Amino acid sequence: MHTRHDGRFAIDAAWRVLLVDLDIRAEDAFRLAQLPEALWHATPARIDADAFYRLWAALEQLAGPVPLPVRAACALRGDAFSPLLFAALCSRDLAQAVSRVAQYKSLTAPLRIATKSTATRFVVTLHAGAGIPPLPTSFGVA
């Protein structure tokens, strides 16, 4: 099941925590992504897929020599509350966790998550939605 939305994606508290943890100034990221700095201060801020990809590319550039997914994984902290992450962590198994993330991730990123289970495999596929450019490799890794 996919949750419907307006094709725009939230720049929420999780982004704010991530940028702080990555030691990346929001102003620098927004400038590189060609986004108005005032958007960072808007609540709630929402951007389209193109702006989302520009912001992600800016983070990749500002991450420095360590790839962004590696820096992000190392920077993750348990003290920042994310309802989506909390729901995943409270799941009985990986399949349920991924299903919960898949249901709502499309609200926060131009991403669709599909799963397929067999007796011996559990396959997770990430892809952009219809009419959205392919996901950056680093975003899928992250």
pLDDT in tens, the chain (142 residues): 444 456 778 787 777 778 888 889 989 999 999 998 888 777 778 888 889 889 989 999 998 888 888 888 777 665 666 777 788 889 999 889 988 888 877 777 777 888 888 889 888 888 877 677 777 777 777 6
Instruction: Please state, as a whole number, how many other Cβ atoms lie within 10 Å of the Cβ of residue 49.
Output: 19
Cα–Cα distance for residue pair 142/131, rounded to 1 Å: 22
Looking at residue 35, its pLDDT comes to 92
Residue 129 is classified by DSSP as P
pTM to 2 decimals? 0.74
Instruction: Please state, as a whole number, how many other Cβ atoms lie within 10 Å of the Cβ of residue 96.
Output: 13
Name residue 117's beta-bridge partners: 122
